[in-house]
Amino acid sequence: MAPTLLLAALLAAPATPATPLVSNGPTGSDSVTVSVAVPPVLGLAKSARRQRIGYLPRHVVLQTGGGVGMLSVGGGLSFAHRRLDLDALVGYVPARHAGTALTIASVKVKYAPWELPLGSSRLAFTPLAVGVYGSYTFGLRNTGEEGQYPDDYYWWSRTTRVGPVLGSSLSYALPDAPSGRARRLTGYYELATNDLYAISYYLNRRALSLPDITTLALGLKLEF
Amino acid sequence: MYQPTSMFSFFSSSFLRNALIGALATGLSACELVEFSPNDHRARADQKDLTAKNLARLTAAPLPPGDTLRFVFSGDSQRFYDDAQDLVRSVNQQPGIQFMLVSGDISDFGLGREMRWIDNELRKLKVPYLTVIGNHDHVANGREAYQEIFGPLNYSFVYADTKFVLIDTNSREYNFNGRVPDVPWLRGQLADLNGASRSVVISHVPPHDGDFDPTLRDAYAGTLRETPSLVFEMNGHRHDYGVGQPFNDGVTYVNSYAFEKRKYLVVTVFGDKQFRLKQVSF
């Protein structure tokens, strides 16, 4: 229910107007420009291309799980024809689930080489996305005070986690924004683990299985 | 005409039921899979309050009159899950043991999932097992995870005319606040043995270790010295077997092997407060 409401809120949010096209034409009425009519045209073409490169599909995300929050919200940009996503999220875990209330800041890079349009529908399936994430947790109770432990007493970070992610997604094309930007709603899942789980698995491949160290994230991404 | 309809409705209802059961089962496992944080300590109902559950099992099987108190003593399971598997196989072949004690550091990184991984192995023991919290179980939000998955940090139980007192001695994890271990609580526990005639104290960090609050060392060791019913105090933390009287005061301290040492102790307690320690390799 809560995710549905949040999604509705996200959809209702006004789309940010696209960056206005920067005029590259002559600014004055100087007639000298007439004698160099060709270069400005080239300049315009170059500028248009720069505009297109500068047009970065951007999105907001809403996620649960994946070790980075009971509920995480964030935003990101897509690069390389939407194959590469860079996301930043802030997640929250209430005290009843973790002992203290946690705030988790995370960044994630995901690469999805294929996107398969599903017939003539507005749906598209991304079968595989791979990536890495890093997170920093605020609010843990015992991370060590100054002088509490001798050096290297615990060799690992209690606050920073890194790990691989792997997932799929299904996108639905929404009507374009008034600015002409393509809008899309994507539902995704991600399987992930973290450095500490991975070490535990690596050292105990008989007793531990990959499902033992796997976490699941479910999320929504709105490109606008 | 009638038959196919009824067949169809039968299939559809059983399909529906199976789908419902499937969704429920998936929902239950997905609950843990959708992890909010590695410090998230949610667990299945059967992996919560394990101390109380194991104590209930132990109480349900009291030592028959004339039998000898015998238990397995180990510690520091940490991230040694493969070793835990083999330990369980070996302990399950020990005749005449009533339970197993794990002297702390159930987890390595203080994470709930690690504690559940250890329980995934130790729940296959034929006997109940009991734990005391170790310093690694205090890391980050491990203390809360331990309390959720196992139970209280200080507790005691009586079995076979012996009172077992398990106490948190991980002073460094509280940055030596002068309140851990809770010596007054220990004194109270040992002053009233609830009808038992012998006592055993189990903690993770031994009092003669640098991770034990130096301001409480004398009070703690003194309390044990003044307890005539005490068989010994049992510790972990040092990952290796040891037996001795570090304070030269008549109190014996026994240290457990870590799981990674692939050895454990079979402890037999008999008579007034006599004991025998047998080392077993696995």
Q: Identify the pLDDT of residue A35.
A: 37
pLDDT tens digits for range B230-262: 999 999 999 999 999 999 999 999 999 999 999
- From chain A, pick out residues whose CB is under 8 angstroms from the CB of B139: 142, 154, 158
**Residues B120-139: what's their mean pLDDT?**
98
Distance CA A31, CA B169 (A): 88
In B125-167, beta strands by DSSP E: 129-131, 155-159, 162-167
Angstroms from A7 CA to nearest CA on chain B: 20
User: What is the per-residue pLDDT for A193?
Assistant: 98
Instruction: Give domain limits for chain A.
Output: 59-223
> Confidence class of residue B30 from pLDDT cuts 50, 70 and 90?
low
Tokens 């006592």 belong to which residue?
B199
Average of per-residue pLDDT across A141-163: 94
Whether omega before B181 lies within 30 degrees of 0, making that bond cis, reads yes
The reported pLDDT for the residue numbered A48 is 44
How far apart are the CA of A150 and the nearest CA of chain B, in angstroms?
Answer: 10
Contact A111, A132 (CB under 8 A): no
Average pLDDT rounded to a whole number, residues A202-214:
97
Give every CB contact of residue B183 below 8 A, 6+ residues apart in sequence.
B216, B219, B220, B223
Q: Please, what is the average pLDDT of chain B?
A: 92
User: DSSP letter string over A69-91?
Assistant: -SEEEEEEEEETTTTEEEEEEEE
| Residues on chain A touching B39 (C-beta within 8 angstroms) | 93, 98-99, 102, 137, 140
Q: Which CATH topology does B41-281 take? A: Purple Acid Phosphatase; chain A, domain 2 (3.60.21)
Burial of A9 (0-12, 13-18, 19+ CB in 10 A): exposed
pLDDT of residue B21: 57
* Top-confidence residue, B270 or A13: B270
Average pLDDT of the segment spanning A52-75: 88
Percent of chain B past pLDDT 90, that is, above it, reads 88
What does the alpha-carbon distance between residue B17 and residue B23 come to, in Å, rounded to a whole number? 10
B98 and B70 Cβ atoms separated by less than 8 Å: yes
Domain ranges in chain B are 1-34, 41-281
Tell me the per-residue pLDDT of B41-69, one tens digit each, with 9 for 90 and over. 999 999 999 999 999 999 999 999 889 99
- A53: its two tokens: 């490169």
The highest-level CATH class for domain A59-223 is mainly beta
pLDDT of residue A37: 38
**Among B39, B81, B141, whose Cβ lies nearest the Cβ of A204?**
B81
Tens digit of pLDDT for each residue in A86-143?
999 999 999 999 999 999 999 999 999 999 999 888 999 999 999 999 999 999 999 9
Q: For position A43, what pLDDT does the model report?
A: 42
> Does A34 have pLDDT greater than 90?
no
| Token pair for A194 | 């973290």
Decide if B37 and A156 are in contact by the 8 Å CB cutoff: no
pLDDT at B219 over 60: yes
Q: Do A65 and B35 touch (CB under 8 A)?
A: yes
Q: What is the ipTM of this complex?
A: 0.88
Cα–Cα distance for residue pair B137/B170, rounded to 1 Å: 10
Q: What residues have CB less than 8 Å from A222, skipping those under 6 apart? A: A7, A10, A11, A59, A60, A61, A183, A184, A185, A186
> Is B219 strand, coil or helix?
helix
Residue B191 has pLDDT above 80, yes or no: yes
Whole-number pLDDT of residue B25? 52
**Residue B74, phi then psi, degrees to nearest 5:** -145, 180
> For A163, which residue in chain B has the nearest alpha carbon?
B38
Task: Enumerate the residues of chain B whose CB falls inside 8 A of the CB of residue A200.
Answer: 79, 81, 108, 114, 117
Interchain proximity A99–B39, CB inside 8 Å: yes
How much of chain A, in percent, has pLDDT values that exceed 70? 75
Phi-psi map region of B59: left, alpha, beta (phi>0 left; psi -120 to 50 alpha): alpha
Residues of B with CB under 8 A from a CB of A: 30, 33-42, 79-82, 84-85, 108-111, 113-114, 117, 120-121, 138-145, 172-173, 175
Q: Are A47 and A24 in contact (CB under 8 A)?
A: yes
Model confidence at A19: pLDDT above 70:
no
Split at pLDDT 50, 70, 90, the class of A40 is very low
Residue with tokens 């491949």: A205
